[in-house]
Amino acid sequence: MNKIAVKLGLLLLLSYTSQAQLISAGDKRKLREKEDTLKEYAMYMITDTTTADRMISDSIFTRTLVRALQIKNSFYYPFDSVQGVSRLYAPDSSFRIFTWNMQFDDYYCRQKGAIQMRTKDGSLKLLPLRDVSEFTDKAEDSARSRSNWIGAIYYNIIKTQYNNRNYYTLFGIDYNTVMSTKKWVEVMYFDQKGEPVFGGPFFSYAQDSIPQPTAYRFSLEFKKDTRVLLNYISDLGVILSDHLISETDEPDHKWTYIPDGDNEAFKWEGGKWVHIDKAFDYKVDMRGIDPYLGNPPVEDPLLDKNGNTNQKKLEEKSEKNKAKEKPKTGNNGD
């Protein structure tokens, strides 16, 4: 599987290299100039200390990006030096998607985005995305258009197929509030008019021990700055997700959720991501442990799981140590 992925990656790189040659020398110079401006204002969107200045930087960045993309064959220009902005190509190179975050204050942010379609003549076909997350209470039960998009900064995209239609599964992060972060997974496809449709009845829980209604997208909300896995694992052929619990036993407060060491999964079957309640048949005790390190093996621990001294084991260990310190006596009484 890894060898195949490497070969595909090399082929994709060679393809981009050859296609980038479609950009004329003059246009490439213009794109580099635009990239320098984009790089500068992408940084200002993050580092400017006032909301007004960040909004101005975002506005200049957006206008500059559109002008850059209007240059012929800009689709093949990577904008690699622009940090803080996600730029993901679809696995089949039919489009790429730009997404970034606009942070108004500690409690409110909004995602920005646009889809650039690949065109035969190198002209621009750009589909802006409008984030309406703040007006949405139940995002899991509706399909969305680009005008009422559930905003996210995308960090991965994979392609699946069913009944001769291409589906693109998007993985994104939303920094949400000062107390919690969200991660999203949703399926996107293009309708007969070429418009993107986000979400649909693609997440099935029919095989769970207690079946739940089919969801239009999957999300996790968790404690700020907690590392949570939600991504496609190609070696396993599944979407793998950390299972979360409240660290304070307050399940209504999503900002208290952290991984508990267990995993859920979704496998693409029959045009749906079918939920697997337990991805593995074992569970590691993760209490009090970094969830990405796990519990190291301990031969005979003197501390319990909460870090308290096990007095009985301590006394037993002391007696054993004392016994080791006593000199051995032979049969001759020496």
Mean pLDDT by 10 residues, the chain (334 residues): 53 54 93 98 94 95 98 97 97 98 86 97 97 81 92 97 97 93 97 96 94 95 96 94 96 96 95 93 50 47 51 60 49 47
* Alpha carbons 141 and 212: distance in angstroms, whole number: 12
Tokens representing 80 are 């690699």
What are the backbone angles phi and psi of residue 323, rounded to the nearest 5°?
-65, -35
Give the count of domains, the chain: 1
Could you tell me if residue 84 is inside a domain? no
| Helix/strand/coil for 287 | coil
Could you tell me if residue 292 is inside a domain? yes
State what percent of residues in the chain have pLDDT above 90: 69
CA neighbours closer than 13 Å in the CB half-sphere of residue 167? 20
pLDDT of the residue at 240:
96
Kindly give the pairing relationship between strand 153-162 and strand 165-174. antiparallel
Task: Determine the distance from the C-alpha atom of residue 1 to the mean position of all C-alpha atoms in its chain, rounded to a whole number.
Answer: 22
Instruction: Calculate helix-pair angle for 25-47, 51-69, nearest 10 degrees.
Output: 160
Could you tell me if residue 185 is inside a domain? yes
Closest C-alpha among 234, 100, 80 to residue 155: 100
Could you tell me if residue 261 is inside a domain? yes
Tokens representing 266 are 């979704």
Could you tell me if residue 250 is inside a domain? yes
Tokens representing 233 are 């694992």
Q: Are 76 and 16 in contact (CB under 8 A)?
A: yes
Could you tell me if residue 190 is inside a domain? yes
Task: Determine the distance from the C-alpha atom of residue 185 to the mean position of all C-alpha atoms in its chain, rounded to a whole number.
Answer: 8
* Alpha carbons 172 and 195: distance in angstroms, whole number: 20
pLDDT of the residue at 139:
78
Sheet holding 238-246, edge to edge: 212-215, 203-205, 272-276, 257-269, 238-246, 230-233
pLDDT of the residue at 321:
53
Could you tell me if residue 280 is inside a domain? yes
Closest C-alpha among 33, 82, 37 to residue 60: 37
Could you tell me if residue 258 is inside a domain? yes
Q: For residue 202, what are the domain limits?
A: 155-306
Q: What is the pTM of this model?
A: 0.78
* Alpha carbons 150 and 199: distance in angstroms, whole number: 9
